[in-house]
Amino acid sequence: MTRTTDDVPHESATVSTLRRALLAILLLGAVGTLSELFLMEHTDGVWQLVPVVLLGGGVIAIAAHALNQHHVPSIRGFQGLMVVFVLSGIIGIILHYLGNAEFEREMQPDTRGLLLIKESLMGATPAMAPGTMIQLGLIGLAATFRHPALREK
């Protein structure tokens, strides 16, 4: 069912302002992260392009959502994209860690256990950098949490 603005239950001005602020923070974070990925030339192969494509699509989705905040399919699509952001961040952390671990094993074949974990987390590829995608996804989900357009009449 598609609702018009007149059909949407009202929320307080404070909550509405917080939703807009979260979308602005999300937009700034997405544009900033996308810019950094381009500057770092994070475009070598499919796996490196995943966050670039997601962030580019995310910027468009954020703008579309901001313009059409009361359209239920739009909200659900936006939420779905934010879940994909979170999943891509988790996968990215794993891929960064595994790449660093492989490099460490090549450089020092006898490294194992906690030392390997430590060296892999502190390796040349920032293992936790993809966590930014997790943060951005959670900010987007927070912006739509208990959205009034999703409430039953």
Q: Give percent of the chain with pLDDT exceeding 90.
A: 76
> Can you tell me whether residue 41 is helix, strand or coil?
coil
pTM assigned to the model: 0.87
> Can you tell me whether residue 127 is helix, strand or coil?
coil
Instruction: Write out pLDDT tens, residues 66-99.
Output: 888 788 998 999 999 999 999 999 999 999 999 9
CB atoms within 10 A of CB 80: 11
Instruction: Write out pLDDT tens, residues 106-132.
Output: 999 999 999 999 999 998 899 999 999
